[in-house]
A and B are shown apart, each in its own frame.
Chain A
């Protein structure tokens, strides 16, 4: 591809929070101090009064007073610790950029957060729910001595001769013991109605936006240990395209429980010491760290901005390999990605003076990395200095890439080459293009500006390369590049949807979904007991923290076997999260029934899947491990003290058997099965797609945030194809209870826009789409199901929960600005349709603001997929897009289910708009194609709006 040089992006603010460095200055001291050994296991910076190092390791000792961010103290307990630390890191970065005391232009200011693994409140909220079940099992175990559903022939560990003449005292004692057990757990599990909002990863950027009044896009994403570089690459793309003017990227890693560290260990990736460059005892140590950078286009840099460094170019890639996740050891792929980055930066590779690597530290990977880069740097007059923050920080996983970029930026800004610790026997071998420094050195400047590279990889097979340059106040003469200019040539370029796949309640595949819509009959009903144990969790009369007042939902079955042709063993299949299994099944649909086969997809790709960043399986594994410990403590409960030891141990054993033995979270494949980006990564791997896998969370707008990422990558040219969409299995007892306690659920069924609307019903679902630039799809002769013409995103920067008319309208206007046509020419709106009176009212009033009062020829048809399949959370936007594409294909306005009386609070005539109970023909738009709009809004004030039109030749 022959593109003009891309505009550099300036780093104008930075922050760093590490156990041994609280702030950027301390971080610089840490990375420049000479070392004879790896510092990754160093004690934290704090000291006790005797001068002994403070324990424990990590960032636990940082106290953050949420009141300083004007957050009500009542919400503090429901907030994740990550949210608080990221608020602090954001504050420091904003302050570093001089924005603490300057008014912030928040309109086009995005916040992107990168995290990996569950957050503390997510684990605790899940634990609170599961603990009720343990207490119930303890009570039941006391009532009869038998174990239910246990076949002694199958499970030889279980003694079949359980005494039927159980001590009559045990029953009542077990009841008291169950209450005692819950009481003991209570201090950890105390909850509030805010928990469902407080626990989410995407609440973090939303909260940052609300605190600092930033009104651009807000999203959280995860790409294993490549998380922060994917976030950074997305930010760079967004700025260069002009989608935003300022982006705050915040990344963090905490050790929230032993789960992630244990899972990494089980994969054989960790060692006691995380030394870089493959010394003895290969592997890394999982460490904590939170950091942030504030970015803007170089052309927007003002006189009073301090520029730490420029990001000249970047590239991401993927080594497509089926099977379990592992680091790429391909020299070829690494070289390709690095070459792409230097082409993007338009600088020669051999002008690099410092290479920051954040790879795994395994010999094979390090060897591949250094061999690939060595080949590119051969022309360099001086050997490039190798660096890695891992010798000081350990592996801060989701934060690792950002830590490397910040270190490189500091080195460029200060003209100092930092040292790295290298154990004897470490790479590089003599004669390579690299050298190690034992102590910091002045970075001599040659003819070109000083430049650094950051090179990294993720265990999901992703590869990344960034090129940074020092910022010189006086412009340097161009080396071999024409005058820089902003590149926004691809802005507004249409993107074609060339294939689709779907899996919802009672409907697998787009055709089956359309049948459900046409039928007018919803797929919502009482949830089965395997999902909702009514005895423990259902109480229609109560608003409580441990019960749900509704038992309605739209559950989708999880496929029992993998898609045909994929070599996935039954063991691996069952070790995958249900969302991964559903999504892989849906992905297989993309390549059948009119879609291209996977091997017809060439060039770099992107797989962005909207999803919770903490999958159900992860929380279940964590709860099971914790509750197993609690169950082991049953014999010690006071309530049982009067029983003899045999009885107490017997009761505990029976309780544990009823509760079910925890799956081994330390199994080698465990991590692959619960990583959120694993959903995208398993698709990339099994279909051998060289597409970067990433999980995107923007609350209930996650699917459209993922779509936005994909559209952006296609328009930037960093991807030639993309898979985007969303998956979430919202029919689970944890979400039922958490949403119920906030009063979000309907007492019966969700009925958007009806006067009876009283909340939503949860639904399971997944829809994925295969996308290409419209021009490429035409050139490749692909079937085109629809064309995405515009995407808009915004944050209310107002309330985390209450919808905001202004914020929604901003997202819509932005989408129209992107599309280049007006709201009058849109025929159909697939609304978010939250199904609450206030939600529906605010949505329709925002629609009126943007769509009303024009020269509309026909009323705007409005509908929502939610009346059929419930609210599928992260998959909701994908469900909506699917419905729009199906409607375009059928040239039929889809109906709405269960609509009795349209709420009189909705002023449809002001638009004018029409909400239909039955399908209606969708007439042609005259000279223009049929057009639809799609809204998706999420908690945290997150709004997305997408504009879609039919491809002129329509259905083939």
Chain B
């Protein structure tokens, strides 16, 4: 595995970081028009379609390059929520369209998704089905040349601003892995309703809402992948999300670690910078240790994805490592700032933004289950005799 990115990727990362530092400044603002303005600026640069093929208006990047770019975005902006929204659009919507879309679907939606004209949301989670994604209550029933979709989806990132939804619904209830189908549903389709924006602990720059589907009529031509193939679409997009989306948190960690180092050098107590105290310096080193370790795991997962890995083990490990490191780095950053840390500020904001990371994209508990399943830890295996 290559441990460094290509020089071109470094150049791109510099561009993205400079862009974010100059154009994505100030606090998060979830109002749709403000969000759109940021979105257009990011899309102009190329962030909204960086992993889409060039012929559809993207930049043709692989997983490692995409992770590199999103890491730079997370480092450059304090609006982690916005970066999160871009990443969700890219990894949970653009990527499945690239991998599972028909030529016609790609031609219809990808140019707009890449150029910033269209924002996408992936709707899988339901009020009653979070981790248990194979038992969705949302139903899609085929009637002639279209489907009627009925159900509700909760905690849908980008829903308040989305132009296109990727919706998972059960076409064969009880059909397990083959009972789900993925649909492309355009905002404004009769029967599709979007709820009020939700208020959450962090990621304020990322609008989120419920959606309601009430006999929403979707032509068969808008099935993404094959009918009954929803689980594959979902799983593949989650591998991308667990890998590349979490690069945003690597960037955020880097930004906060850097500012923490600056802080401990500048903050004097007892006539000396607090960084000179071992209790402080060891904590800073531990922050760096968590960050660097998680970063290696994440780029390993990205590399595996580029090599065609499908088991998702490295993606799951990366997701766990990054999200847990991020929460801990946030706690450490607060602790090292003392009373300043519990005021509204960079460290506090980072911790808020990191808390959801242990839950979305499949909770860390589920990720551990996934890895355990891949390790077949539940299988009784007798030691070979005579060994």
Q: Which A residues have a C-beta under 8 Å from some C-beta of B?
A: 33-39, 41-43, 50-53, 271-273, 275, 279-281, 421, 423-424, 438-439
Residues A34 and B55 in contact, CB atoms below 8 Å apart: no
- 17 A-B pairs within 8 Å (CB atoms) are namely A33-B44, A36-B45, A38-B57, A41-B111, A43-B117, A51-B32, A51-B33, A51-B37, A52-B36, A53-B116, A272-B57, A281-B53, A281-B54, A438-B11, A438-B12, A438-B15, A439-B18
Q: CB of B56 within 8 A of chain A?
A: yes
Decide if the interface of chain A is mainly helix, strand, loop or mixed.
Answer: loop
Q: CB of B96 within 8 A of chain A?
A: no
Residues B111 and A272 in contact, CB atoms below 8 Å apart: yes
Q: CB of B107 within 8 A of chain A?
A: yes
Residues B111 and A273 in contact, CB atoms below 8 Å apart: yes
Residues B49 and A273 in contact, CB atoms below 8 Å apart: no
Q: CB of B74 within 8 A of chain A?
A: no
The residue from B32, B46, B58 contacting A50, defined by CB atoms under 8 A apart? B32
Question: Closest Cβ of chain A: how far from B55's Cβ, in Å?
Answer: 3
Decide if the interface of chain B is mainly helix, strand, loop or mixed.
Answer: helix
For chain B residues 49-67, which have a beta carbon within 8 Å of chain A? 49-50, 53-61
- A38–B52 alpha-carbon span in the complex (Å): 12
Question: Closest Cβ of chain B: how far from A16's Cβ, in Å?
Answer: 18
Chain A residues within an 8 Å CB radius of B45: 33-36
Known: A280-B55, A423-B54, A424-B60. 15 other contacts (CB 8 A): A36-B45, A36-B46, A36-B59, A37-B50, A37-B58, A37-B114, A41-B57, A42-B116, A43-B116, A50-B32, A51-B37, A271-B55, A272-B55, A273-B55, A439-B15
Residue of A nearest to B34 (CB): A51
Residues A275 and B54 in contact, CB atoms below 8 Å apart: yes
Chain B residues within an 8 Å CB radius of A272: 55-57, 107, 111
Question: Closest Cβ of chain A: how far from B241's Cβ, in Å?
Answer: 20
Sorted nearest first, the 7 A-B pairs with minimum C-beta distance are A36-B46, A281-B55, A37-B46, A51-B36, A51-B33, A37-B59, A34-B15
Chain A residues within an 8 Å CB radius of B49: 37
Residues A39 and B44 in contact, CB atoms below 8 Å apart: yes
Question: Closest Cβ of chain B: how far from A584's Cβ, in Å?
Answer: 37
Chain B residues within an 8 Å CB radius of A439: 14-15, 18
Q: CB of B336 within 8 A of chain A?
A: no
Question: Closest Cβ of chain B: how far from A322's Cβ, in Å?
Answer: 32
Chain B residues within an 8 Å CB radius of A279: 54, 60
Residues B8 and A424 in contact, CB atoms below 8 Å apart: yes
Question: Closest Cβ of chain B: how far from A44's Cβ, in Å?
Answer: 10
- A36–B52 alpha-carbon span in the complex (Å): 12
Residue of A nearest to B36 (CB): A51
- A50–B32 alpha-carbon span in the complex (Å): 8
Residues B57 and A423 in contact, CB atoms below 8 Å apart: no
- A50–B34 alpha-carbon span in the complex (Å): 10
Residues A53 and B40 in contact, CB atoms below 8 Å apart: yes
Chain B residues within an 8 Å CB radius of A280: 53-55, 60
- A42–B57 alpha-carbon span in the complex (Å): 9
Chain A residues within an 8 Å CB radius of B14: 438-439
- A39–B41 alpha-carbon span in the complex (Å): 12
Question: Closest Cβ of chain B: how far from A503's Cβ, in Å?
Answer: 46
Residue of A nearest to B50 (CB): A36
Residue of A nearest to B112 (CB): A43
For chain B residues 86-141, which have a beta carbon within 8 Å of chain A? 107, 111, 114-117
**Assuming the A-B contacts A41-B115, A50-B32, A273-B111, are A35 and B54 also in contact, with contact meaning beta carbons closer than 8 angstroms in the complex?**
no
- A434–B56 alpha-carbon span in the complex (Å): 27
- A196–B136 alpha-carbon span in the complex (Å): 65
Chain A residues within an 8 Å CB radius of B115: 41-43
Question: Closest Cβ of chain B: how far from A448's Cβ, in Å?
Answer: 29
For chain B residues 218-241, which have a beta carbon within 8 Å of chain A? none
Residues A273 and B57 in contact, CB atoms below 8 Å apart: yes
Q: CB of B16 within 8 A of chain A?
A: yes
**Assuming the A-B contacts A34-B19, A34-B45, are A273 and B32 also in contact, with contact meaning beta carbons closer than 8 angstroms in the complex?**
no
Chain A residues within an 8 Å CB radius of B56: 272-273
Chain B residues within an 8 Å CB radius of A52: 36, 117
Residue of B nearest to A271 (CB): B55
Residue of A nearest to B45 (CB): A36
Q: CB of B47 within 8 A of chain A?
A: yes
Q: CB of B156 within 8 A of chain A?
A: no
Chain A residues within an 8 Å CB radius of B248: none
Chain A residues within an 8 Å CB radius of B211: none
Question: Closest Cβ of chain B: how far from A683's Cβ, in Å?
Answer: 36
Q: CB of B245 within 8 A of chain A?
A: no
Question: Closest Cβ of chain B: how far from A269's Cβ, in Å?
Answer: 14
Question: Closest Cβ of chain B: how far from A36's Cβ, in Å?
Answer: 3
Q: CB of B321 within 8 A of chain A?
A: no
Question: Closest Cβ of chain A: how far from B90's Cβ, in Å?
Answer: 12
Contact indicator per residue, chain B 2-26, by CB within 8 Å of chain A (1) or not (0): 0000001001101110110000000
Question: Closest Cβ of chain A: how far from B247's Cβ, in Å?
Answer: 15
Residue of A nearest to B46 (CB): A36
Residues B15 and A36 in contact, CB atoms below 8 Å apart: yes
Q: CB of B69 within 8 A of chain A?
A: yes
- A284–B19 alpha-carbon span in the complex (Å): 28
Please indicate which of the listed interface residues B36, B115, B116 has the most CB atoms of chain A within 10 Å of its own CB. B115
The residue from A33, A50, A423 contacting B59, defined by CB atoms under 8 A apart? A423
- A3–B69 alpha-carbon span in the complex (Å): 54
- A406–B53 alpha-carbon span in the complex (Å): 30
- A447–B369 alpha-carbon span in the complex (Å): 68
- A37–B60 alpha-carbon span in the complex (Å): 8
Residue of A nearest to B110 (CB): A272
Please indicate which of the listed interface residues B40, B44, B58 has the most CB atoms of chain A within 10 Å of its own CB. B44
- A275–B19 alpha-carbon span in the complex (Å): 22
For chain B residues 264-286, which have a beta carbon within 8 Å of chain A? none
- A770–B17 alpha-carbon span in the complex (Å): 61
The residue from B18, B40, B47, B60 contacting A423, defined by CB atoms under 8 A apart? B60
Residue of B nearest to A20 (CB): B44
- A51–B119 alpha-carbon span in the complex (Å): 13
Residues B12 and A37 in contact, CB atoms below 8 Å apart: no
Question: Closest Cβ of chain B: how far from A441's Cβ, in Å?
Answer: 12
Question: Closest Cβ of chain B: how far from A798's Cβ, in Å?
Answer: 46
Residue of B nearest to A34 (CB): B15
- A39–B56 alpha-carbon span in the complex (Å): 11
**Assuming the A-B contacts A52-B36, A424-B60, are A36 and B12 also in contact, with contact meaning beta carbons closer than 8 angstroms in the complex?**
yes
- A424–B49 alpha-carbon span in the complex (Å): 15
Residues A38 and B54 in contact, CB atoms below 8 Å apart: yes
Residue of A nearest to B106 (CB): A272
Chain B residues within an 8 Å CB radius of A421: 46
Residues B111 and A35 in contact, CB atoms below 8 Å apart: no
Residues B36 and A50 in contact, CB atoms below 8 Å apart: yes
Residue of B nearest to A283 (CB): B55
Chain A residues within an 8 Å CB radius of B33: 50-51
- A271–B40 alpha-carbon span in the complex (Å): 23
- A39–B54 alpha-carbon span in the complex (Å): 11
The residue from B40, B47, B107, B111 contacting A36, defined by CB atoms under 8 A apart? B47
- A50–B35 alpha-carbon span in the complex (Å): 11
Chain B residues within an 8 Å CB radius of A273: 54-57, 111
Residue of B nearest to A421 (CB): B46
Chain B residues within an 8 Å CB radius of A53: 40, 116-117
- A280–B50 alpha-carbon span in the complex (Å): 14
- A424–B8 alpha-carbon span in the complex (Å): 9
- A78–B126 alpha-carbon span in the complex (Å): 58
Question: Closest Cβ of chain B: how far from A32's Cβ, in Å?
Answer: 12
- A725–B377 alpha-carbon span in the complex (Å): 87
- A36–B12 alpha-carbon span in the complex (Å): 7
- A648–B57 alpha-carbon span in the complex (Å): 44
Residues B32 and A42 in contact, CB atoms below 8 Å apart: no
- A260–B57 alpha-carbon span in the complex (Å): 22
Chain A residues within an 8 Å CB radius of B40: 53
**Assuming the A-B contacts A280-B60, A424-B60, are A37 and B54 also in contact, with contact meaning beta carbons closer than 8 angstroms in the complex?**
yes
- A273–B56 alpha-carbon span in the complex (Å): 6
Question: Closest Cβ of chain A: how far from B142's Cβ, in Å?
Answer: 29
- A35–B44 alpha-carbon span in the complex (Å): 7
- A33–B40 alpha-carbon span in the complex (Å): 13
- A186–B111 alpha-carbon span in the complex (Å): 35
Chain A residues within an 8 Å CB radius of B47: 36
